[in-house]
Structure 1
Amino acid sequence: MKKLLLGLAASTLLASPTFAEMLDLEKDQLTFGFIKLTDMAPLAVAYEKGYFDDEGLFVTLEAQANWKVLLDGVISGTLDGAHMLAGQPLAATIGYGTKAHIVTPFSMDLNGNGITVSNEVWEEMKANLETDADGKIKHPISAEALKPVVDRFKSEGKPFNMGMVFPVSTHNYELRYWLAAGGLNPGYYSPEDVKGQIDADVFLSVTPPPQMPATLEAGTIMGYCVGEPWNQQAVFKGIGVPVVTDYEIWKNNPEKVFGLTADFIDQNPNTTLAITKALIRAAIWLDENDNANRPEAVEILSRPEYVGADAEVIANSMTGTFEYEKGDKRDVPDFNTFFRHNATYPFYSDAVWYLTQMRRWGQIPEAKPDSWYDEVAKSVYKPEIYLKAARMLVEEGKANEADFPWDSDGYKAPTPAADVIDGIGYDGKHPNAYIDSLPIGLKDAQTVEGAEVKG
């Protein structure tokens, strides 16, 4: 094991009344995986700004082909940790798909996704939308405007196909939420049918994020939900129009997490703290001074080893704006949020929301008591590690004490109805009441058997 003095140079320590805490790193050479999306930014920034180095960590970052490959890499140990869909640690831990105990001490961001439709679909949707006094389309756009288009496809005997990135992705649940809020059924899963298309009005399937624009252009799908820069890429290529952001679906919704195996953190507790410290510093840097560092972050992310998209495309959303129909660029300062609003704190209530959506659409086939949601959330989300790392940064003078929710019980205050597109609030402490309040989806003891909802 290697004893390291973290955080401050020796010359600084001599002049400072506060000493950095000493950590014994159990493992200092690490490989982390990521997918080419702008919300992997905390990893790139922690590497490029030297925050991993400051913690004595020698990190290699490796882009992965898709989310399954990434998860398998973490489980097998070829990756020590990774930028993950928030649903991945939860699904793996409860045994949906691959069974493995994955945990997170760090939430990577809030918001950051959008739903894009083809130009053909957009032209039909526009006929159902209102404009403001300036002639601009009123936002947020409800999926009610999409319903006549879907109905036309049905009448012509054609399926209406849309893409999302993974069955337990935020994108799948956000797209489903938006569709259901507009009266469209996105389909159910059952233990026998894992396509998620039972009783569907709109048929959702998996497409890797960087392939979304090309798949849309080919006409294989009529729209998709994905993170940036792949919505803005459709605008720049002139092949599609983003119609709604996840900020408009659910203001300041949780997005990606940093995932590790439970075995890793058990065997490497100090290394886990060091990783978390570096990622918190990166998140602070990304949001500080009203996003003043975002142009530099855009340049970093545009490099081929990270996202590899044109800087202009990445900047379209990363610097506080978002472009819908070409030329309709609007201010959305919180479209990508990495530290504000306690973005990095792994709230149990965020985990519970994902579990409610898994239950809503049949990925969790049977009803569970509220206590089960709480237990699973606490087995996966680890705010105690996060707060320990944050305390060390505060003591080292690298973070402000006021920026962390020290007294939180792990649950956010309930989301008010006004912050959600369907006007239904969310309280993570009452998951079953929340599930039952949603108009489309499984409720109470309902199950999906074969191609029928029963109960």
Structure 2
Amino acid sequence: MKWFKPLKSVALSALISVSGLVSMQAKAELGYPEKEELRFGFIKLTDMAPIAIAYEKGYFEDEGLYVTIEAQANWKVLLDGVIDGRLDGAHMLAGQPIAATMGYGTKAEIITPFSMDLNGNGITVSNEIWKQMKPNIPKRADGKPQHPIKADALKPVVEKYKDDGKPFNMGMVFPVSTHNYELRYWLAAGGIHPGYYAPHKGDTSGQINADALLSVTPPPQMPATMEAGTIYGYCVGEPWNQQAVFKNIGVPVVTDYEIWKDNPEKVFGIT
């Protein structure tokens, strides 16, 4: 696989074209890229915008790079594409380079030359769950719900589902995503057990002793999955929280900025 050699100059050229943080003199010293034709992957989320803008505005061509961008089915497919060389780089979850380098999943050294965004996620629940939560939410003087909305308001709803023998299912995008951590933190802060992982025992479901069962759902599929009743809520980036509003199927209850201010959300990843 000698053809697959994403070297430092390629990475730096891509970094320059998107971020513009390197001076013209430093750029000139890089010389010509070893590989001019590149394929970058992304998931259909608002925070892939830096790649889309660079592509549409011709910034890649300005650096002598001919880039094709391709939507990927899910985060695992995207990461595997970068590792096996099908993709030369990609819009990634901030946790993916760390997890891959540690050997969680497919082991590979993934480098992050720059961050693509901070925050950007939200937690949305279905209209039916929102209806059941509302009586438990403190009100402002004008009668509207007091924000940020805590998971305390969801706890009686989850307990009722458990008493009725019904699993309370929620979606997140990937085990090592900040969405997973944010949703778990929000639930736990409200007294709802989000479940344990036990990889040393062969259990990577993350649902051990869980009150709310969290499962992986690709971002573009979340609104439809919630509308079908398979999950009752989810944590995802835009535009999929607002999609629930536009389709009148759900209500965003909290943003990740209110859970974890300025958290690293997406990065650009290469080998």
- TM-score bracket relative to the smaller structure: 0.7 to 0.9
1:180 is aligned to 188
| Residue number in structure 1 paired with 2:225 | 215
- What does 1:141-220 correspond to in 2, within 5 Å? 141-191=149-199, 192-220=202-230
Q: Compute the displacement of 1:39 (Å).
A: 0.4
CA offsets 1:58-81 (integer angstroms, 9 cap, x no match): 111000011111011000001000
Q: Identify, as 1 or 2, the structure richer in strand.
A: 2
Deviation at 1:103, TM superposition (A): 1.3
2:52 maps to 44
Secondary structure of residue in 1 paired with 2:152: helix
Is 2:265 the counterpart of 1:255?
A: yes
Q: Name the count of aligned residue pairs.
A: 247
Query: CA offset at residue 19 of structure 1?
Result: 5.4
The 5 A counterparts of 1:55-454 are: 55-191=63-199, 192-261=202-271
Q: Deviations over 1:87-133 (max 9, x none)?
A: 11111111111111111011110111110001111011110111212
Q: Indicate the residue corresponding to 1:27 in structure 2.
A: 35
Hey, what's the Cα distance between the residues in 2 that align with 1:223 and 1:107? 28
- Residue identity matched to 1:169: S
Alignment gaps of 5+ in structure 2: 1-8, 10-15, 17-23
Question: What letter is aligned with 1:99?
Answer: K
Mapped to 1, the partners of 2:27 and 2:267 lie a distance apart of 26
User: Residues 20 and 100 of structure 1: is their aligned pair in 2 closer, same or farther, counting only changes over 3 Å?
Assistant: closer
Q: Percent identity?
A: 78
SS at match of 1:130: coil
In the aligned structure 2, how far is the partner of 1:70 from the partner of 1:19?
34
User: Aligned equivalents of 1:32 and 1:95: distance in 2?
Assistant: 23
Structure 1: stretches of 5+ with no match in the other structure:
8-17, 262-455
Superposition deviation, residue 134 in structure 1? 2.3
1:173 and 1:20 map into 2 onto residues whose CA distance is 39
SS at match of 1:255: strand
Residues 27 and 153 from structure 1, CA distance in 2 versus in 1: closer, same or farther, beyond 3 angstroms? Answer: same
Structure of larger gyration radius: 1
Distance 1:189 1:49 in 2: 44
* CA drift at 1:49: 1.7
Q: Which residue of 2 aligns with 1:289?
A: none
Q: TM-score, length-normalised on structure 1?
A: 0.53
Moved more, 97-106 or 32-41: 97-106
CA distance in 2, matches of 1:170, 1:28: 33
TM-superposed deviation, 1:26:
1.8
Instruction: Name the residue aligned to 1:318.
Output: none
Counterpart CA distance in 2 for 1:55 and 1:182 is 50
Give the alignment's TM-score, normalised by structure 2: 0.88
Per-residue CA distance 1:265-304 (angstroms, 9 max, x = gap):
xxxxxxxxxxxxxxxxxxxxxxxxxxxxxxxxxxxxxxxx
**2:20 match:** none
Q: Partner amino acid for 2:40?
A: F
Letter in 1 for 2:117: D
Which amino acid in the other structure matches residue 203 of structure 1?
Answer: L
Letter in 2 for 1:199: N
Q: Distance in 2 between matches of 1:253 and 1:246?
A: 8
For the aligned residue pairs, the C-alpha RMSD in angstroms reads 1.6
Ranked by relative contact order (alpha carbons within 8 Å, sequence separation 6 or more), the top structure is 2
Aligned-pair CA distance for 1:252: 1.6
Q: 1:21 to 1:101 in 2, by over 3 A?
A: closer
Whole-angstrom CA distance in 2 between matches of 1:120 and 1:45: 38
Query: Offset of 1:161 from its aligned partner?
Result: 0.3
Kindly provide the amino acid, as one letter, of the partner of residue 235 in structure 1.
Answer: V
Q: Kindly state the Cα deviation for residue 20 of structure 1 after the two structures are TM-superposed.
A: 6.8
